[in-house]
Amino acid sequence: MTIRVRQTVSMDSGDVNEVEKSSHEPRRTGSGSTLDQYMPVLLFFGLYNLVNIKAAVIASTMWSIKATVSRRRAGLDIGWWLPSVTAYLILRSGVTILVDEEIIDFGISSEAVYFGIGFVTKFLVGLCFAVTIIIGKPFVAWAIPKVVELAPSVIESRTYVRVMANVTWLIVAFEWVSATWDIWLFNNAGLNFFFLTRTGVNFAMSFIAITGALTYIDRKLGPLDEYPGLIHILESSGRTSQ
């Protein structure tokens, strides 16, 4: 039996006009709870100030592992990305702890190692995305059909590839500018001020960048006959088969 729930709400509030959920649809990729999103940040900040960086990185990393396991046990499709990020966090934390325990020595503080790994990662992510554009296979062009429903005619069009290449360039610019800003702030502020400012600024800039990218995509793909529009894309996000 297929169970459909339909509700109509005002579009002025930013809600979707009609939402349909079917019991026959594939399981959605969960976005996670707000607690799982922010608890690692809170744990790191609190324990760094109350105990030390070793306790901070262990607690925040353990919570990230817990979030991944919980989503999997809840039947949510976590794909390959979330486990990969979790493995990266474990490695990053492990290196930081080894430096803090003076088992290995890079000639810099454990704080610089922990955040420095993040800075380098941002530059490398931007570089990898730039390479996908250069070789003619923009990352976003590949990723979008994995999470939203688009007609083959849209995906195969030159307009789609060009637009997604531009959006991928936006990600490259964001990663490099963000990493540069992080490095400058880390070198010119205390760690607490750096951590709080970086978290707030990156959140705000990420929101602006994502909103701008979605608006740009919707505007440029709008003339394509089978492009369903931004509302439909957001509704269908996560419904495609993994």
The alpha-helical segments, DSSP class H, found in 74-109 are 81-100
- 149 with 71, same domain: the answer is no
- 139 with 164, same domain: the answer is yes
For 8-24, the pLDDT digits (tens) are 333 344 443 333 333 34
Tokens of 223: 């003339």
pLDDT at 178 over 70: yes
Q: What average pLDDT does the segment 223-235 reach? A: 83
For 63-104, the pLDDT digits (tens) are 988 888 888 887 776 667 778 888 999 999 999 999 999 999
- 128 with 229, same domain: the answer is yes
For 135-169, the pLDDT digits (tens) are 999 999 999 888 888 889 999 999 999 999 999 99
Question: Do 96 and 57 meet the contact criterion of CB atoms below 8 Å apart?
Answer: yes
In a domain, 113, yes or no: no
- 53 with 147, same domain: the answer is no
Instruction: Let me know how long the chain is.
Output: 242
In the chain, % of residues over pLDDT 70: 82
Domain range for 126 is 122-242
For 118-133, the pLDDT digits (tens) are 999 999 999 999 999 9
In a domain, 28, yes or no: no
The burial class, CB within 10 Å (0-12 / 13-18 / 19+), for 60 is: buried
Domain termination residue (choose one: 105, 139, 164): 105
